[in-house]
Structure 1
Amino acid sequence: MIRPVNYADAQQLLNIYNYYVINTDVTFDLEPTSLKAFQEKLHSITKDYPFIVYEENGEILGYAYAGKFRERPAYNSTLESTVYVKHNQHGKQVGSKLYTELLSQLKQTDCRVVLGVLTLPNEASVKLHEKFGFEKVGHLKEVGFKFNTWLDVGIFELKLA
């Protein structure tokens, strides 16, 4: 079931996110996020943007949301999307189902462009974005440093309007 997030979900969402912080380079956070910081982020995003979860038998298997790309007002119709799937739930199309719903909701807003900002290489995330029509429009080389490795970032763009 895909549904809007609620604040009672915060710990499950945080567990999903912190797995990626600790074990992967897909996020550039270097230390696990605290529950309080995650709750504040959740509150900040849900004031203005969609934030959805994929739940099965009471367990959250993934989540997706959109948020500001940048602070300046000229960017107000450009949003950045985020999708995380619980590390042991890949291959079940959870990310695709979340993206289908998130993009559907964004099409009902004044959002004109959605950006996916991905650590590269990341074949699964690249394939997910390309499946939905995102086009790679930028490649930033060695802009992040995690696990003693310089990492690239790809910028993928989807025009909704």
Structure 2
Amino acid sequence: MNIRNAEMDDAKAIAAIYNHFIVNTTVTFEEQIVTDLDMAKRIADVQSGDLPWLVAEHDGTVVGYAYATKWRARHAYRFSVESTVYLAPEQLGRGFGTALYATLLKHLTGARYHLVVAGIALPNTASIALHEKLGFEKVAQFGEVGFKFDQWLDVGYWEKRLTTVS
């Protein structure tokens, strides 16, 4: 496995991974598929904000991605980010998610971010297990905050402190 910064040429593979989850699951609240161009713009937006967007490759194929975005726009939130990770469905349970997420956390720590927040649409035992394995702790849950596939969905929030900012 190789973990590296995403490039614009990765947008097609990333969109294909994400679109599976849009169409087939409630782990994302997006309901319309994302085009390759939309995904390329999202990657560029994240990276232009000096935040990481990483991909994991296995045998030359992108099998997952992880990135961080600013938690909120106000200046006082500048040391907090929200993380996202997705793997191709056929790659789940192979350790790629753990390696990819650990690399993302290492990048964020090196950039002196203090707190990472992760929102998880519930239920999602695999995502909860991944986050808690990496040291995240549950801090909140909003009931019936999303509606997809004719059902109300809760979202839980996990956090992980990375550094002490001085």
User: Which bin holds the TM-score, normalised by the shorter protein?
Assistant: over 0.9
Q: Which amino acid aligns with 1:18?
A: N
Alignment of 1:50-129 (within 5 A): 50-129=52-131
TM-score with structure 1 setting the length: 0.98
Say whether residues 1:17 and 2:13 are aligned partners: no
Residue number in structure 1 paired with 2:138: 136
* Whole-angstrom distance in 2 between the partners of 1:35 and 1:72: 30
Residue number in structure 2 paired with 1:3: 4
* Whole-angstrom distance in 2 between the partners of 1:63 and 1:28: 18
* Whole-angstrom distance in 2 between the partners of 1:53 and 1:71: 26
Counting aligned pairs with the same residue, the percent is 42
Report if the CA contact (8 A) 2:141-2:156 is conserved. yes
Deviation at 1:35, TM superposition (A): 1.9
Residue number in structure 2 paired with 1:36: 37
* Whole-angstrom distance in 2 between the partners of 1:138 and 1:19: 27
* Whole-angstrom distance in 2 between the partners of 1:53 and 1:154: 25
> What is the number of residues matched between the two proteins?
161
Report if the CA contact (8 A) 2:11-2:37 is conserved. no
Deviates more, 1:146-155 or 1:69-78: 69-78
Gaps in structure 2 of 5+ consecutive residues: none
Deviation at 1:37, TM superposition (A): 1.6
Q: Which amino acid aligns with 1:5?
A: A
Deviation at 1:2, TM superposition (A): 0.8
Gaps in structure 1 of 5+ consecutive residues: none
Deviation at 1:110, TM superposition (A): 2.3
* Whole-angstrom distance in 2 between the partners of 1:105 and 1:35: 25
* Whole-angstrom distance in 2 between the partners of 1:36 and 1:12: 12
The DSSP-based 3-state class of the residue aligned with 2:91 is coil
Which string of whole-angstrom CA distances, capped at 9 and with x for unpartnered residues, describes residues 45-95 of structure 1? 011101111101111110111111111111111000000000111110110
Q: Which amino acid aligns with 2:80?
A: T
RMSD: 0.7
* Whole-angstrom distance in 1 between the partners of 2:92 and 2:38: 26
TM-score with structure 2 setting the length: 0.95
